[in-house]
Structure 1
Amino acid sequence: MRRANIDAGRLPALSLPRFVGRDREVAVLGEALGQAPAVVLIDGAAGIGKTRLLREFLVSQGERGRRVLVGSCPELRVPYTLGAVVDAVRDGVGSVSGLGLSGLCGALRPLFPEWAADLPPAPEPLEDATAARHRLFHAFVEVLSRLDVAVLALEDVHWADEATLEFLLFLVSRRLQPVSVVVTYRREEVTPGSLLLRLSSRLPADAHLVRLALKPLGIGETAAIVSSMLADEPVSAEFAAFLHARTEGIPLAVEESVRLMHDRADLIRQGGGWARRRLDRIEVPPTIRDAMLERVGRLHPDAQAVLYAVSVLSGPADYANLNAVTGLSEDRFAAQAADALGCGLLREDGRGHWSFHHALARQAVYEAIPAQERRVLHVRAGRALEDSPLPSVAQLARHFRLAGDAEAACRYTEQAADLSIQTGDVATAALLLYNLVTTLALPVEPLARLVMKIQFHSLLPDSDPHSKIIESLQSALRTRALTLGQQALLRFHIGRVLMMAGAMEAGRHDILRAVPDLAPDSLEAARARTLLALPLGNAQPASEYLRWLGEAPAVAPSLPPHERLRLVQERAFALLMLGEVVGWAEARRIPDDTANPREAATVVVGHTNVGEAAMRWGRIDEAEARLAKAQTLAERHELLSYLDSIASSRAHLDWFTGAWTGLAERAARLIDDEDRVRLKDRCEAALVAGLLQAAAGDRAEAVERLRFAAQDDQQRIEATAALAQLSLRDGDIEQALRLTEEPAEISVGSGIWPRAVEIAPVRVAALVAAGRLGDAADLVTAFERALGGTDAPAPQASLELCRGMLAEADGRLADAARLFAQAADAWQALPRPYDALLARERHARCLLAADRTEGGLLILSEVSRALADLGAHNDAERVAQTLNERGWDTRVARGRGRPGYGNRLSPRELEVARLLVGGRTNRQIAEALGVSTQTVASQLKSAMRKLSATSRTVLALRVVELGLVGEHGQPPAGDE
């Protein structure tokens, strides 16, 4: 060590490295920002020189008299709302006095309390989160405009909060774009669904977009950096090549390696230049972090304490706060502060605030602090900031959480979360609360309160938020000396979160244990019974679920409005899932709109859930309307995390209604986005993808998708029904029976008919194929008894299909044909065209079996064509094969327009003929079909020509004789 000090004395003092190797990038930046408004995206790995490039260039902009604001997104687990933008404005402006700001800018008061004397009065608070956020954005734009800001530059935007990214999108999508925007980021740290990726797609036509991807330096440029640090003396080619190989040309790694070798005295002059001391065989550390830490370890302990304090405070810190956090006396702090600042890791800005040159350095130093010492430093930081004139509650929440001070952490975290919600930043609020409850042991009551406030939709699914919350709750439950009420409260929340995570039975178990000891009239008691009434998981009789709903206490008027609304939407969903008509009346209590940001998420979930239930009931128009309301509200309040749930439900609805164009691609995007889309929504998308692939004939891929979908309880029965249907088509009756047994018991056996729509026909088909006609009849009877006369079009159509299967198995072909045709009509009326075509195929096959060949083949031909047009190519080929075997020519010329039908009636002509046989006039037919009387007359004329009918009466007789229509206009009844 002593020799190192002696050698170090012979070495020149190190200089800051010169800015080299970026001439092209500087030129590109200059050209881009000369064509304002511009958006410049600078991408590069850690240490590649993004910050240096930006700051060197922006200095030149300032010299030209252009105002430039620069902010940096800190590497915090919980960023604070619009933090980088606030810091950029605060650091670059100082004061807004004399700007003549409008009243709109009073919205900036919560973010700039130090400007209270210069800002207009605070405007009236807005309950609409989106409106509040956009008002804030408009206020920022006004300030930028009044200050004549030319460039807003934000660094490390991969760490930005959602509100900052939304503000950037707001800026670049405006006409005219008010300022040029420059951002730096690391592509490898940007999640697939990040709003950052949308910056380039939201630009107006007159904006100028430039992308810069920084590359490592070459050997010559590496040598130039080293030389600039060593009094501009030359560097040997061998040394430059050695250093380039070890650092891969990353500028920060080159700088840190030279500084470390200088500290070690591992440099010598040789041959007129600098070289590395060979005999010592000292290696450059493998990472930048290791090099930094070795250098820090060579400093005086008091200088290290200064670096520790800067890393704990994280952002730019003033002299007084740094002194307070170190715990050093003023004399000791002053003695070592200069050395700490001069070590090359720190920088000082124009306000005298210190921070690290690079986030990697801050992170390396912070992680090197022993855990106990780190907690002490956070305590000091929290107390120092509390005493400052304008403390940041987000920073106070972070420091006291990391210090382990539960009481202070709870207080400041709730304040910070409320502030985030006021500005519409729900995601940051959720993350603040989540981080607190998963990292700090909290008392029961605040823990339960905070867990209730977390909006899980706003947390990224790849972090598996449910399991960590459950761990925290279970840990609290293991605490001794809890009252029965406290234990029940924790168990209720454990069960609730488990159910949200999809573990329905485990969640029900915990809630059941909690119910007896929950306060009778409490919110938890009401929600517990509503959750127990959800018919998900294992089979329970419908009466059991209804009993829980009946026991739920009345909603207390004293409850906050958003909690009352949550109970309404949960109760409505439970009733509709149970097949109770009264659920629709409850669903109508969910408002179409709300200006309250706390209620917005609940309303969005409510409409999405009711839309899902409407699909299962067969109320397609209701489903369409509910999902549209949910999407409109989610977009207006920018509840982006809810849009994926709506999109997966929308995809499911489009499968049913036959809107298959582009559907596979939409489903695939949801399935593949593991970082942003919840497992539940990915499962629903996988169900849609699997159904599409099964219809198209891609069996292996369909099975994989359907099995994935079956992980989610809400999609499990439908996915299993589809898998069983594939087994039946393969002739594997035993597998179909095994697959359908439990789902049939859960739905039909329990009397919960909304879940039976898809599984009941497949179970009946499997039982019939196995020769178990008695069991099949019992299942149909149970389905019929559960459904009764309920106005539920989809289950009624499903029941009609099951009856047709029984009639066909009994050899009653006329009844079977009639029932299948009625089922087809019922499916088509919803509309669910794919199910209608499959029922129509069964109808036609009954006609063929009854020797009504011409009518059967005519229907099969129409079905084959319609299936192909829909995209169900596997089914179309199956029907075409039957037609070919019967000698029917399936080769039909197709042009670029609508499909031709030759001498066969089109589906609309057939529908008109059925209504004609039923005794309707042209006007009545037009009203029934929603078309003009002229259209009806044209279609009748075409049908008469095709069937060589000389009058309407002859046409009616012909379609009855062909088995296309029954004698009274009903669906055909075979050869009755």
Structure 2
Amino acid sequence: MLDPSPEDDGTAPTVSTPQFVGRDREMAALRGALARPPAIVLVEGEAGIGKSRLLREWLAAPERRTALVSVCPPLRESLTLGPIVDAFRGIDRPVSRLRLTELAGALQPLFPEWSADLPPALPPLDDAKAARHRLFRALDELLRALRVDVLVLEDAHWADEVTLEFLLFVTSRQQSHGPSLVISYRPEEVDDGSLLLRLTSRLPAGVTQLRIALAPMRADDTAALVSSMLDGNPISQEFTTFMHERTGGVPLALEESVRLMCDRADLVFRDGQWVRLKLRELQVPPTVRDSTRERVSRLSPTAQQVLRAAATLAERSSVATIAMTAGLSPAACSGAVAEAASAGVLDGDDRGRWRFRHVLAATAVYEAIPLTDRRHFHLLAGRALEHVHPPAVARLAHHFREAGETRSWARYAEQGAELAMASGDHTKAVDLLVDLMSRAVLPPVDRARVARIAGVAALGRREPVDGVYHRVIRTLRSVLETPGLSARQQAEIRNPLGRLLITGGEAQAALSELEQAVANLDHDPVEAARAMTYLGWAYAGPWPASTHRRWLDRAAELTAEFDSPAERLNLAGNRAAALLMLGEEEAWDVVADLPVDGATAAERLDVARIHANIGTGALIWGRYADAEEHLAVALRLADAEQAFRLHHNVRLEQANLAWLTGRWEGLAERSAALADADRDRPAHYLGSIRLAARLAAAAGRRRAAEEQFRLVLEESARLGAADDTMEAAAALARLWLTDGNSGRALQITNEPMDTVRRKGIWIWATDLVPARIEAHLAAGDRKAATRLGDQFARGLRGRTAPAPRAALTVCRALLLAAAGDHGRAATAWDRAARAWSALPRPYDAMLARERQAEALVAHGQFDQGRELLATQYEQLFRLGARGDADRVAQRLREHGAEVPRLWRGGRRGYGDELSPRELDVVQLVVAGKTNREISRILAKSPATVDQQLRAAMRKLKVSSRTALAVKAVEAGVFAEEDSLDDAS
């Protein structure tokens, strides 16, 4: 390094590696967290912000520890579990000396180089998920045998799904003295459906937790970093400002820009400080792309060719692989690699593999390759990687795709998809296959085969419905338009397509596809039976219940011949749920024989899905204790198997159960969270909106309730989900009846009522028939109301469903009240209230009691009626049905009764203690936030923040924000969290 003196005017500097500056606080926090194992440390920040440098500096410290380090490659199609495998390959202890059980034999396929030192390979398992779980256990055993203290995974935003699942597996076992985890990632590159979000948002209790959010450097740190790269002497203020503004304080951009300027002799030492020549004429590249491209252009043509090859390969590669990709001899390539490494562009590991030091630099070089040349580089890369064993099929598919070699691309894409599905990574399989079908011209027979596999892979995904689902659906529909497909090929595509449409909420379209598929699935009885069972579900279509029942019976005949217990379980569970939707009593006999667990991951997932469907059916029947039991089983298994889509389903049904059984505390927040999580799943999103509409109607927020119920009704009708139109139509009818608009109430219930009659499934009409009868009565048509009540009674004959039967008692009470028989009406309303309470369904019971009270008053029993009304007013108010409570209060006043005084909102007093909301404000004051910032963070108005801040100051007896912060910390009113999200 040059040490110029003030007399060395005009001397160009020699560039050194920058010192580690501006991260003292983050380093102290990292060390502190890892000193309290087990720990999970998340290091987040944009590209080039210094995540890797922070971790390298920590790893270089002389502390005694065993750490495994790996970096995820930038390709989406990265090798399953590749980062974890690479981490283990960095160990320096002989595997043969480790105390490993026979379980470690599962590692043989991953580490063929250790084949002589590992236990014998284990026999293969038929269930891919069970094999993956066994593999995870073996990897965890290896971690513990090596006594690994810390597992470091860099660039986790590029990690494959199975790698992330393994990290989740490790976190679940940390409390049994597992290793600490340090994970770095770029938040902006984490997909909404990524498992990484579970690592960043659902950390286990009892584990030290730290999140370090690296921010760009301040101006003084920028100056210190640049100075350290030169000679330690200061840089001018003008130069500091220039660098900070042009690079945004991103360390990588700073480093690359300094190197570029030095290469171009743009820096000189003058008057005791480094300054930049031609400040205005010569533009400093604002991004790493520009600086990297110019630095590369100064290397030899051979080195540039090597860098273009390395950029195309994208992952660490041997000299031999790079040479073949670059079209060079190994000797020439080796020299060029050395040149690029000396220039600080390439970085090697102890296995002689090379890649760019920074992904941004690789991207800059790759994007500079002319499009015509890129195809050639990818072709050479693919041919080079075909010599690597075991073959990296995902990378091979990528390179041959970019090279336009369709045949090789298709072969490796299918192989990659098969491997991904075998390890449980169905998302990767879908990506590979949909990409292939969307961009390649395949023969019809190949296109049909790939489409079928893609559909099956999509059905196996555990994530919530997202863009991947919709891509698959669009692609399968497109493939069905391919000329030349046989009826059998079309059926094999329509079958998974129909099931995907069910998940996506397109009920009518789903039945259409499945009905066409089942006619040509004779060659596959299992899939034929499965399709028939789905056709037995009555949620859509014009068919009567008898048609759905025939499909179920046909499926049962096929199922009786199956030998596989798993297939029999799957079809029995689907049959039970379908029978419940039809209102068939025998469904409960089938339910009684269903297991509550499974021997394999696949069986557990199937059992979870079955119990979720049974829970939904139990809600329709009004068997709420049964619903709670089945949903609890489903949630336990869904969480155990990390089935996120199913988890959301169950949470929604549990929220519906909470509404029905009167557990409304926090339900509004739950419905909002569910709606956000399910926006891409129409049926479930509408279910969340329906829940919000119920709460709005009960609270008296008429406009919101009406808009939300209309959305649910219209969208459910559009999607063909007939059963989901019932409650929304009934709710709208009740709202309009309060306006005296019986005609509109009848009109909105016409189509749902026709659906019930046409299908003959009267258990769906729990809400609909009472609302319709009331509309007929309001219109003066008692004959139509009576006729509908009789139809409802006949439709429920022989069925013990408690909720529809309670609704039937409401219908009878409505008819008695309309006849003017107030004494008998009061008795009937009492019967209805008791029926609702027995479920329990307290809100409906309270509404029935309100009607009973009105009947008593009409019958001349004024005191008894007013007393009952007052009781319902208080109970409705406590439940949270403030709109109904206000209506009852008005009726009490009309009857000359006094309305009880109840506490009406706002938080109850906390005395001299800070309320939870005041604590939130004080915590942010201590963190140095302004009132405006606190308002934005807590989503409160500035006036509310000011009010809560003044209340906190009054309670803590201080008169300034500073004194408040000091007093709050001294008093220990809240615990400081181990987080650096706001670090700057």
Q: TM-score range by the shorter chain?
A: 0.7 to 0.9
Cα gap change, 1:627 to 1:433, in 2 (>3 Å): farther
- Counting only pairs closer than 5 Å after superposition, residues 176-325 of structure 1 correspond to structure 2 as 177-190=177-190, 196=197, 202=203, 205=206, 207-230=207-230, 235-262=235-262, 267=267, 274-278=274-278, 281-293=281-293, 295-296=295-296, 302-325=302-325
SS in 2 for 1:71: strand
Cα gap change, 1:180 to 1:522, in 2 (>3 Å): closer
Cα gap change, 1:495 to 1:178, in 2 (>3 Å): closer
CA separation in 2, counterparts of 1:32 and 1:847? Answer: 68
Alignment counterpart, residue 449 of structure 2, candidates 428, 445, 448: 445
Cα gap change, 1:324 to 1:551, in 2 (>3 Å): same
Cα gap change, 1:141 to 1:449, in 2 (>3 Å): closer
Give RMSD over aligned pairs: 3.6
Cα gap change, 1:406 to 1:764, in 2 (>3 Å): farther
Most deviating of 607-616 and 441-450: 441-450
The unaligned stretches of length 5 or more in structure 2 are 1-9, 904-984
CA separation in 1, counterparts of 2:633 and 2:898? Answer: 48
Cα gap change, 1:321 to 1:198, in 2 (>3 Å): closer
Counterpart residue number, 1:120: 119
Shift in Å, 1:321: 1.9
Shift in Å, 1:800: 2.4
Cα gap change, 1:838 to 1:363, in 2 (>3 Å): farther
Shift in Å, 1:824: 2.1
CA separation in 1, counterparts of 2:289 and 2:749? Answer: 58
Most deviating of 793-802 and 504-513: 504-513
Counterpart residue number, 1:44: 45
Counterpart residue number, 1:481: 484
Shift in Å, 1:752: 1.9
Q: Is the 8 A contact 2:325 2:384 kept in 1?
A: yes
1:106 equivalent in alignment to 2:105: yes
Q: Is the 8 A contact 2:73 2:158 kept in 1?
A: yes
1:722 equivalent in alignment to 2:723: no
- Counting only pairs closer than 5 Å after superposition, residues 878-957 of structure 1 correspond to structure 2 as 878-891=887-900
Q: TM-score, normalised by structure 1?
A: 0.81
CA separation in 1, counterparts of 2:572 and 2:900? Answer: 56
Cα gap change, 1:785 to 1:361, in 2 (>3 Å): farther
SS in 2 for 1:554: helix
- Counting only pairs closer than 5 Å after superposition, residues 290-689 of structure 1 correspond to structure 2 as 290-293=290-293, 295-296=295-296, 302-330=302-330, 332-334=332-334, 336-366=336-366, 369=369, 374=374, 377-378=377-378, 380-392=380-392, 395=395, 404=406, 405-421=408-424, 442-455=446-459, 457-461=461-465, 463-519=466-522, 522-537=525-540, 539-550=542-553, 552=555, 554-555=558-559, 557=561, 562-588=566-592, 590-673=594-677, 678-689=681-692
CA separation in 1, counterparts of 2:421 and 2:473? Answer: 24
Q: Is the 8 A contact 1:130 1:637 kept in 2?
A: no
Deviations 1:934-960 (A, max 9, x none): xxxxxxxxxxxxxxxxxxxxxxxxxxx
SS in 1 for 2:153: strand
SS in 1 for 2:91: helix
The unaligned stretches of length 5 or more in structure 1 are 1-8, 895-976
CA separation in 1, counterparts of 2:875 and 2:675? Answer: 29
Q: Is the 8 A contact 1:417 1:433 kept in 2?
A: no
1:787 equivalent in alignment to 2:796: yes
Counterpart residue number, 1:822: 831
Q: Is the 8 A contact 1:751 1:783 kept in 2?
A: no
How many equivalent pairs are there? 878
Shift in Å, 1:474: 2.7
Q: Is the 8 A contact 2:892 2:899 kept in 1?
A: yes
Cα gap change, 1:36 to 1:693, in 2 (>3 Å): same
CA separation in 2, counterparts of 1:870 and 1:306? Answer: 72
Q: TM-score, normalised by structure 2?
A: 0.81
Cα gap change, 1:832 to 1:602, in 2 (>3 Å): same
Alignment counterpart, residue 694 of structure 1, candidates 694, 697, 705: 697
SS in 2 for 1:454: helix
Cα gap change, 1:110 to 1:584, in 2 (>3 Å): farther
Counterpart residue number, 1:20: 21
Shift in Å, 1:71: 1.4
1:834 equivalent in alignment to 2:833: no
Shift in Å, 1:14: 4.5
> What code does the residue aligned with 2:109 have?
P
1:767 equivalent in alignment to 2:752: no
Cα gap change, 1:597 to 1:343, in 2 (>3 Å): same
Q: Is the 8 A contact 2:38 2:174 kept in 1?
A: no
CA separation in 2, counterparts of 1:170 and 1:544? Answer: 46
Deviations 1:21-44 (A, max 9, x none): 333433443444445444433232
Q: Is the 8 A contact 1:169 1:202 kept in 2?
A: no
User: How high is the sequence identity, in percent, across the aligned residues?
Assistant: 44
Alignment counterpart, residue 776 of structure 1, candidates 781, 785, 793: 785
- Counting only pairs closer than 5 Å after superposition, residues 745-764 of structure 1 correspond to structure 2 as 745-764=754-773
SS in 2 for 1:91: coil
Deviations 1:434-456 (A, max 9, x none): 66666655521232133123336
Cα gap change, 1:28 to 1:525, in 2 (>3 Å): closer
Counterpart residue number, 1:91: 90
Counterpart residue number, 1:55: 56
Cα gap change, 1:113 to 1:681, in 2 (>3 Å): farther
SS in 2 for 1:831: coil
The higher relative CO (CA closer than 8 Å, separation ≥ 6) is in 2
Deviations 1:791-825 (A, max 9, x none): 21111222222232233223343443343332222
> What code does the residue aligned with 2:65 have?
R
Cα gap change, 1:427 to 1:646, in 2 (>3 Å): farther
1:739 equivalent in alignment to 2:748: yes
CA separation in 1, counterparts of 2:667 and 2:127? Answer: 33
> What code does the residue aligned with 1:324 have?
M
> What code does the residue aligned with 1:817 have?
A
Shift in Å, 1:560: 6.0
CA separation in 1, counterparts of 2:890 and 2:675? Answer: 34
Q: Is the 8 A contact 2:433 2:450 kept in 1?
A: no
CA separation in 1, counterparts of 2:275 and 2:285? Answer: 18
CA separation in 2, counterparts of 1:752 and 1:273? Answer: 87
Deviations 1:545-589 (A, max 9, x none): 334445557238468654554433333333321222333344455
SS in 2 for 1:154: strand
Q: Is the 8 A contact 2:455 2:497 kept in 1?
A: no
Q: Is the 8 A contact 2:131 2:423 kept in 1?
A: no
Shift in Å, 1:320: 1.7
Q: Is the 8 A contact 2:156 2:185 kept in 1?
A: yes
Q: Is the 8 A contact 1:247 1:253 kept in 2?
A: yes
> What code does the residue aligned with 1:601 have?
L
Cα gap change, 1:601 to 1:777, in 2 (>3 Å): same
CA separation in 2, counterparts of 1:435 and 1:590? Answer: 40
Shift in Å, 1:246: 0.8
Shift in Å, 1:727: 2.6
CA separation in 1, counterparts of 2:548 and 2:275? Answer: 80
Q: Is the 8 A contact 1:533 1:546 kept in 2?
A: yes
Shift in Å, 1:744: 2.0
CA separation in 2, counterparts of 1:356 and 1:400? Answer: 22
SS in 1 for 2:355: strand
Most deviating of 590-599 and 712-721: 712-721
> What code does the residue aligned with 2:419 have?
A
Cα gap change, 1:174 to 1:507, in 2 (>3 Å): closer
Shift in Å, 1:787: 2.5
SS in 2 for 1:118: coil
- Counting only pairs closer than 5 Å after superposition, residues 90-169 of structure 1 correspond to structure 2 as 90-93=89-92, 95-123=94-122, 135-169=134-168
